[in-house]
């Protein structure tokens, strides 16, 4: 973020002068609480903050800030293959159009940095081991609840998502969960947070880190999205503490 400040360029196509011409207060909030405050909090690593931010931008199809934050993510330690896989993950969790908008931006970043297809995950790869017991429990519950209502959706959820996408090795399970939870919060999909936050914590996301995800997303998705998720996150924390 120091280089950004020196260049007086915002994380978008705008400059500080552009923002000041419209809202001097917004310029100050951007320089202070956002760039010099939020991004320097130690509760999440810069890499994690980039993962959360990229997920939020894709989930909300906010392309104006994607070039800066895709490049920053690579600078913060996200590998090209991981960024590629984040986009793939969010095709399923935010929709194909959102993923394709991200592809259009990432293509330019990859070209600038000479990132070739040899640095990206293959379409087919050896999958991570499946937790048979947990997946059987999940699949049985979903099938019992919704199998008669939308059998195609239930089948694709099992075969495409949990027996394929979630097992792709190019993105660690913790990161895949972090991406998914961030996208759900950013897009206001509160009903899905309980399961995926629990899965994220099972995959290694700590409670302080999950808490900081909410703090970070208040800036990038808005306070209403963060506060709408807050009761659900609180409930997950409390139930896990009782286990």
pLDDT at 213: 98
Residue 168 Ramachandran class (φ > 0 left, ψ -120 to 50 alpha, else beta): beta
Residue 178 in contact with residue 213, Cβ under 8 Å?
Answer: yes
Residue 15 in contact with residue 8, Cβ under 8 Å?
Answer: yes
Go through 202-240 and write b for each residue having 16 or more CB atoms within 10 A of its CB, e for each that does not: ebebeeebbbbbbebbbbbbeeebbebbeebbeebeeee
pLDDT in tens, 160-183: 999 999 999 999 999 999 999 999
Is the pLDDT assigned to residue 226 strictly greater than 70? yes
pLDDT in tens, 14-48: 889 999 999 999 999 999 999 999 999 999 999 99
Confidence of residue 1 (pLDDT cuts 50, 70, 90): very low
pLDDT in tens, 90-111: 999 999 999 999 999 999 999 9
SS3 content of the chain, % helix, strand, coil (to 5): 75, 0, 25
Mean predicted lDDT score pLDDT of the chain? 94
Q: Which residues pair with 15 in a beta bridge?
A: 9
Residue 3 in contact with residue 55, Cβ under 8 Å?
Answer: no
pLDDT in tens, 68-91: 999 999 999 999 999 999 999 999
Superfamily of domain 41-119+130-242: AhpD-like (1.20.1290.10)
């Amino acid at each position: 973020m120091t280089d950004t400040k020196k260049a007086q360029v915002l994380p978008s196509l705008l400059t500080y002068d552009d923002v000041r011409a419209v809202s001097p207060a917004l310029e100050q909030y951007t320089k202070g609480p956002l760039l010099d405050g939020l991004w320097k909090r130690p509760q999440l690593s810069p890499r994690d903050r980039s993962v959360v931010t990229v997920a939020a931008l894709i989930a909300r199809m906010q392309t104006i800030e994607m070039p800066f934050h895709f490049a920053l993510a690579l600078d913060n330690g996200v590998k090209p293959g991981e960024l590629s896989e984040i986009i793939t993950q969010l095709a399923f969790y935010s929709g194909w159009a959102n993923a394709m908008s991200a592809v259009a931006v990432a293509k330019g970043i990859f070209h600038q940095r000479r990132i070739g297809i040899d640095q990206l995950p293959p379409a087919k790869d050896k999958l991570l081991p499946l937790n048979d017991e947990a997946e059987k429990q999940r699949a049985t519950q979903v099938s019992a609840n919704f199998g008669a209502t939308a059998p195609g959706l239930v089948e694709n959820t099992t075969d495409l998502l949990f027996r394929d996408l979630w097992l792709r090795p190019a993105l660690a399970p913790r990161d895949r969960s972090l991406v998914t939870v961030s996208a759900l919060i950013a897009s206001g999909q509160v009903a899905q947070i309980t399961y995926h936050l629990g899965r994220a914590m099972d995959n290694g996301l700590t409670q302080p880190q999950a808490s900081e995800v909410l703090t970070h997303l208040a800036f990038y998705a808005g306070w209403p999205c963060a506060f709408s998720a807050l009761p659900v996150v609180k409930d997950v924390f409390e139930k896990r503490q009782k286990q």
